[in-house]
Amino acid sequence: MPYVNVQITVGATREQKTALVKDITDSLVRHLGKKPELTHIVIQEIAEEDWGYAGQLTDDWKRNQS
């Protein structure tokens, strides 16, 4: 039973999450022969202020890029 945990920053639409779950499930079926009905995908959305990148919080990093 595959269990996949996907962590992304907040902002994906429901449609994007639906497509992501389908693509990951299809990939596990195609490449590893896993059964879709036994495959679990969890999407965790994390606020940019709670995610670090390049030594900074992501929201600060994005502000500094402009």
pTM recorded for the entire structure: 0.85
**b/e 31-59 (16+ beta carbons within 10 angstroms → b):** eeeeeeeebebeeeeeebeeeeeeeeebe
Give residue limits of the domains in the chain. 3-65
CATH class given for the domain over 3-65: alpha beta
**pLDDT tens digits, 1-47:** 999 999 999 999 999 999 999 999 999 999 999 999 999 999 999 99
**Rounded distance between C-alpha atoms, residue 39 and residue 46, angstroms:** 23
**pLDDT tens digits, 52-66:** 988 999 999 999 998
